[in-house]
Chain A
Amino acid sequence: MSSAKDQVGRLLALVPLIRRRGEIHVDEAAALLGVSPAQLVTDLRVLIFCGWPGWLPGDLIEVDLDALEPGGDGMIRIANADYLAAPLRLSRAEASALLVALQTLRSSAGEDVLPSIDRAVAKIEEAVGARPVASVAVRPGPQAATRATLEGAVRDRRQVGLRYLVASRDEVTERVVDPLGIVTDGGVDYLDAWCHRADDRRSFRLDRMLAVTVLDTPAADHDLAPLDLSEGIFRPAADLPLVTLRLAPAARWVAEYYPVESRAEGSDGALDVTLRVADEAWLQRLLLRLTPHVSVLAPDAYAAAYRQTVAEVRALYT
């Protein structure tokens, strides 16, 4: 935050603020602008060389720098800055970032806050005469409540009881976890937690939690590094078996969603990929979902199992 542009931006906000209040303490102003008091004093030293063109002594902006020296009262006072009395209007980038953030708040806000958000959005849109260049749809509904409950448990260091759907096995499980934090990967929210059932660290998708109960038991300390999401939340171990799939165009999305070890373009828009399989049930489910846009090139055992399952499912419809 030390570029000249940022410094000018801060000063353009600071001058009208001081003029409005008469004086303001350097600590309060620094907190408002999100910089250190020392940085703010550095900013103010720039002001004394600025002013009306001609820059005779009486034309320059005056700052009471003595008050900011050790032993001073720490209050910022300025004079001769009438032309900067009004704050600068929001840039399009600022208005857009703020408006998108405000609209996004709607998704998690309760009925009591919604009218305040809508009025704030309307007033700001009118004042800046701009519409945002971006828009976000956030999944509304139960997940926001789940998230709030879990964040509370993380903050209060309490254990959580989960009724959790393990989709790959189509199985509902009950478990007790020490919540570590909530992480987002590819638009999906996960609880990063220590699972007492697995006695290991696990990630749980919020949208697969059927029930969440904050327990009275305090969560144990685990001293774990934050999750490294640089390669996505799934990072299959290197010793897991490999499977090679041929993905027809309609199934190519798999290569975007799951980490693939290798990929090669095939004919007719097909994509050949190899992936590591942690759980055979997960693979069978994925293959069935992709039917008929996928085939198993190797190993043969997986290919045979897939054909067998397809035949069994087909038999339900005779």
Chain B
Amino acid sequence: MQKSERLLNLLILLLVQRRYVGKARIRALIDDYRDAPDEAFERMFERDKGELRALGVPVETGYVDGFFEDEPGYRIPADEFALPGIELTADEAAVLGLATRVWRHAGLAGHTSDALAKLAAAGIDVDRGRLDVLAPEISAEEPAFDALWQASLDRQRVSFDYQRAGATAAMKRTLEPWGLVSTSGRWYVVGRDLDRDAERMFRLSRIQGRITKIGRAGSYAVPPGVDLRSLTRRLGPGPRTEAATLLVRQGSGASLRRTGDVVEAGVTGPDGSTGWDRVTLTVSSLRWLADEVLAHGTAVRAEAPDALVTEVVRRLDAVQESA
């Protein structure tokens, strides 16, 4: 008997029964189980249930006799097994066709295609060539990605060694992962840090070594109201609210000129020459702007606000002091 045959027969057996089917009955009805020694049967049965669940089959556990709660039994509720009716218009279905081009990650590209195959079986006609829109690509190259994605799906606690940005040594962290968020191509895992009992976010590239799974799957719930989409937005650059003025040497500072506007050309600069432009810009962080101003060396001078000028000067002076 092929394994896929066994899986499918187990599925049909549990699906066509309204009540929980006892383990002994399942064993009697399926050849491989019947022929296997006790221990091998248990192992095989556990693995098979796991594989069906991984396919999305809702294998429920209960008791054959609800009153005595003695013999464990299993069933697959037909209404939970079936994909609920879903009607998509042609343009909505065309969008699904594009979705298959997004993931550049073997596992997730496969999951997307499998999802589409099921939707096609439900009668949704996915035309993959209908829309000529460029699909953005998502990659997930961090070694920790697969384990954390699975743990987030399974609601399973994990621990890992994490090297914080400013810290010297990696520290062990224990987390209830809620999900993964990505911004600017970098992945973060978000969840409840059990040691600190607080919501925390960890950058995957700073996780060292393996992810260790702790305890059982389904051992916590994601708090209601956790919204990964808004978290992702929060991680990205904030709204541009900080206005600043810089003097930029003519012929220099193309990246700053691109972000801002030249309001006055040919002004006198700090060197007394008139080869400077006054550029204003609005940025989301003055700290980021201080980095940019410094990186441009003698080609850019911060002019306003005072907080920016003070920050740049403070950082320059700190070099003299340490020398």
Q: Are A89 and B84 in touch, CB under 8 angstroms?
A: yes
Chain B nearest Cβ from A120, distance in angstroms: 4
> Interface of chain A, helix or strand or loop or mixed?
helix
A288 to B86, CA, bound (A): 57
Known: A53-B29, A104-B102, A210-B254. A317 touches B270 (CB 8 A): yes
B55 touches A8 (CB 8 A): yes
Chain B interface, DSSP helix/strand/loop, else mixed: helix
Once A14-B121, A91-B56 are accepted as A-B contacts, the answer to whether A252 and B254 lie under 8 Å apart by CB is: no
Measured between alpha carbons, how far is A295 from B115 in the docked complex, in Å?
53
Query: Are A108 and B297 neighbours in the complex by a CB distance under 8 Å?
Result: no
Q: A97-B108, A137-B236 are in contact. Are A289 and B99 (CB under 8 A)?
A: no
B297 adjacent to A98 (CB under 8 Å): no
How far does the alpha carbon of A105 sit from the alpha carbon of B84 in the complex, in Å?
24
**A179 is an interface residue with CB less than 8 A from chain B:** no
CA distance A137 to B181 in the complex (A): 8
CB pair B168 A86 closer than 8 Å = no
Q: Do B294 and A289 have beta carbons less than 8 Å apart?
A: yes
State whether A113 and B95 are in contact (beta carbons under 8 Å apart), knowing that A4-B51, A123-B86 are contacts in the complex. yes
| Complex interface: chain A residues within 8 A of B253 (CB) | 170
| Residue A212 lies at the interface, judged by CB distance under 8 Å to chain B | no
Interface string of B96-118 (1 = CB under 8 A from A): 10111011000011011111111
B115, A90: Cβ atoms under 8 Å? Answer: yes
0 or 1 for each of A286-310: is its CB under 8 Å from B? (1 = yes):
1011011001000000000001011
Judging by beta carbons under 8 Å apart, are B99 and A89 in contact?
A: no
Residue B84 contacts which of A127, A252, A315 (CB distance < 8 angstroms)? A127
Residues of chain B with a CB closer than 8 A to A107's CB = 136
Q: Once the chains bind, are B9 and A50 in contact (CB under 8 Å)?
A: yes
Q: How far is the CA of A32 from the CA of B178 in the complex (A)?
A: 33
CA distance A60 to B219 in the complex (A): 39
* Complex CA distance for A93 and B81, rounded to whole angstroms: 15
Known: A108-B134, A137-B232. A46 touches B56 (CB 8 A): no
Contact A95 B115 (CB under 8 A): yes
Q: A135 — nearest CB in chain B belongs to which residue? A: B228
CB contact list, B288-323 vs A, under 8 A:
291-292, 294-299, 301, 309, 312-313, 315-320, 322-323
Stretch at the interface among B11-19, B60-68, B194-202: B11-19
Select the residue from B57, B86, B316 with max chain A CB neighbours within 10 A.
B316
* A284 touching B313 in the complex, CB below 8 Å, given contacts A10-B117, A210-B254: no
Bitwise interface map of B from 250 to 273 toward A, beta carbon under 8 Å scored 1, else 0:
001111001000000000001100
A165-204: contact bitstring with B at CB < 8 Å (1 yes, 0 no)? Answer: 1010011100000000000101110000000000000000
One of A68-76, A143-151, A233-241 at the interface: A143-151
Cβ-based interface call for B171 (8 A)? no
Which B residues are CB-close (under 8 A) to A147? 134
Residues on A facing B (Cβ under 8 Å): 4-5, 7-17, 20, 32-34, 43, 46-47, 49-55, 83-84, 86-98, 100-105, 107-110, 113, 116-117, 119-120, 123-124, 127-128, 131-139, 144, 147-148, 151, 165, 167, 170-172, 184, 186-188, 208, 210, 249-250, 252-253, 256, 265, 269, 284-286, 288-289, 291-292, 295, 307, 309-317
List 8 interface pairs A-B (beta carbons < 8 Å), by A numbering: A86-B83, A88-B82, A123-B88, A137-B235, A284-B297, A288-B297, A292-B319, A315-B270
